[in-house]
Amino acid sequence: MTPLPDRFCPTDGTRVPSASLAWCCPACRGPLDLDFAPTPAPLKSLAGRVNSLWRYAECLPLATPSVSLGEGRTPLVELTDGISAKLDYLMPTLSFKDRGAVLLAELALRLGPRGVVADSSGNAGTAIAAYCARAALPCTVYVPFGTSAKKLEQIDVHGARLRIVEGDREAAAAAAREAADEEGVFYASHVYNPYFLHGTKTYVHELWEDLGGRLPDVLVVPVGNGTLLLGAALAVAELHSAGLIDRRPALYAVQSAAVAPLAHAWAEGADDLVGTTPMAPTLAEGIAIPRPPRARQILRAVRDSGGRFLTVTEDQLRHAQRDLASRGLFVEATGVASWAAVREGALGGRSAVVPLCGAGLKSGVAGADGASW
The model scores a pTM over 0.75: yes
Q: Has residue 368 got a pLDDT over 80?
A: no
Say if CB 162 and CB 156 are below 8 A apart.
yes
**Tens digits of per-residue pLDDT, 229-269?**
999 999 999 999 999 999 999 999 999 999 999 999 999 99
Mean pLDDT (whole number) for 121-132? 93
Q: Has residue 1 got a pLDDT over 70?
A: no
- Degrees, nearest 5: CA angle 302-274-301: 15
**Tens digits of per-residue pLDDT, 6-24?**
999 999 999 999 999 999 9
Say if CB 205 and CB 59 are below 8 A apart.
yes
Say if CB 32 and CB 7 are below 8 A apart.
yes
* Closest-CA residue to 227 (of 15, 29, 33): 33
Taking the C-alpha atoms of residue 229 and residue 233, their distance in angstroms, rounded to an integer, is: 6
Give the model's pLDDT for residue 370. Answer: 39
Q: Which helix (H) or strand (E) holds 196?
A: helix 194-200
Instruction: Say if residue 171 is exposed, middle or buried (CB neighbours under 10 Å; 0-12, 13-18, 19+).
Output: middle
SS3 10: coil
DSSP class of residue 42 equals P
* Closest-CA residue to 208 (of 233, 239, 187): 239
**Tens digits of per-residue pLDDT, 19-71?**
999 999 999 999 999 999 999 999 999 999 999 999 999 999 998 899 999 99
